[in-house]
Amino acid sequence: MRRSFWSVCLIFVLAVGLVVSMSYSAQAKTEWKMCLGDAKGGTQWECGLRFAELMNAYTGGDTVIHLFPNGQLGSEQETVQNCRLGTLDFSVVAINNITPFSKTVGLFTLPYLILSLDEAVTLTQGPIGQKLVENTIRDAGVRILSWAYSGFRVLTNSKRPVRTLEDLKGLVIRVPKNAIMIASYKSWGINPTPMAWNETFTALQQKVVDGQDNPYLTNYVMKFYEVQKYVTNIRYIFSLQPLIISEKLFQSQSPEMKKLILKAGTDATEYARQFNALTVSKVQKLLTDKGMEIMDPANNEKEWIDKATKAVWPKFYKEIGGKEKITEALKAVGR
């Protein structure tokens, strides 16, 4: 009887120890949330997922980041604000949704400033990009950890082929609530319709607007081929999708964890670069298979470029930090 009693006691102690150990392990695991504006499978998702995988690997499985695509935790501008307040950990957003909080980042949304993936990488990974990272910390309370490269925002519409600015007239085009993008369309002779991202598909479906612009992969994962017919390969903005962290969250981490977060961000950027390089032509084929017609602007887009750069660039010199910022960027990419 005595041996049975002590056996029961030993089993009890071991069970309690196991529960305490399991509880400790659960408490030791860090869980964070990341919001993405786009759908699963897009550039934002790929960059965010890679970052989450790297953080899990670099911390030996002790860090888990849960991804919430399709703006489940709010619009992109709302998530920037929530990261700023420290109520959200991470978000991946189109760069134009950071500019309301840190205007100098608008440099990278000026029409025709970036004309290739290589130029985008040069600018984001060089001194100019680093300065803009510092500016977002100062102005917006968020830190850009990684840059995802989505490619050019091509124009789509449901009414007719568009090759010239004359073809564009009369179309109702949705744009983000971004002053530079709105000004670009106005320079081409139309008054665009600013609209939140989560309202766009329905507006296209119901013919409230005729068209919109977004990178190829975004058009595919958002299934815009169901409500759009024509694609025009304009190159006015090379779409960047920064992955941001709440600066409050970042500063609360240990020096070792900060290093791991920054390393994961750098490595996710390189993954995103390779992903873009391998994806664009494949997605074009998928969209044509879905019935979309793809065309280039007439005369190498010269009229589009001339009107936008002459009208838009000077208007935003002050906001981006001066005309010299454009000169510096053009010099960096050899133009």
Read off the pLDDT of each residue in 7-32 and give the average, rounded to a whole number: 50
Read off the pLDDT of each residue in 306-312 and give the average, rounded to a whole number: 98
Q: What pLDDT does residue 62 have?
A: 96
- The answer, yes or no, to whether residue 7 has pLDDT greater than 50, is no
Domains annotated on the chain, with CATH:
30-332 (3.40.190.170)
Q: What pLDDT does residue 3 have?
A: 46
pLDDT tier at 10, thresholds 50, 70, 90: very low
The radius of gyration of the chain's CA atoms, rounded to the nearest angstrom, is 23
- The answer, yes or no, to whether residue 150 has pLDDT greater than 50, is yes
Tell me the CB-side half-sphere exposure of residue 158, using CA atoms within 13 A.
19
pLDDT tier at 280, thresholds 50, 70, 90: confident
pLDDT tier at 292, thresholds 50, 70, 90: very high
Read off the pLDDT of each residue in 74-94 and give the average, rounded to a whole number: 96
Q: What pLDDT does residue 28 have?
A: 58
Contacts for 199 with CB less than 8 Å, ≥ 6 apart? none
Q: What pLDDT does residue 314 have?
A: 98
pLDDT tier at 277, thresholds 50, 70, 90: confident
The overall pTM is greater than 0.95: no
Which region among 28-32, 79-83, 137-141, 282-286 has the lowest average model confidence (pLDDT)?
Answer: 28-32
pLDDT in tens, 91-144: 999 999 999 999 999 999 999 999 999 999 999 999 999 999 999 999 999 999
pLDDT tier at 5, thresholds 50, 70, 90: very low
Read off the pLDDT of each residue in 3-19 and give the average, rounded to a whole number: 43
- The answer, yes or no, to whether residue 21 has pLDDT greater than 70, is no
pLDDT in tens, 185-223: 999 999 999 998 889 999 999 999 999 999 999 999 999
Q: What pLDDT does residue 107 have?
A: 97
- The answer, yes or no, to whether residue 22 has pLDDT greater than 50, is no
- Separation of first and last alpha carbons in the chain: 90
- The answer, yes or no, to whether residue 15 has pLDDT greater than 60, is no
User: Which of residues 288 and 11 earns the better pLDDT score?
Assistant: 288
| Beta strands across the sheet bearing 230-232 | 193-194, 173-175, 211-214, 154-157, 230-232, 293-295
Place of tokens 């790929």: 46
Q: How far is the C-alpha of 190 from the C-alpha of 212, rounded, in Å?
A: 13
Q: What pLDDT does residue 24 have?
A: 34
Q: What pLDDT does residue 23 have?
A: 37
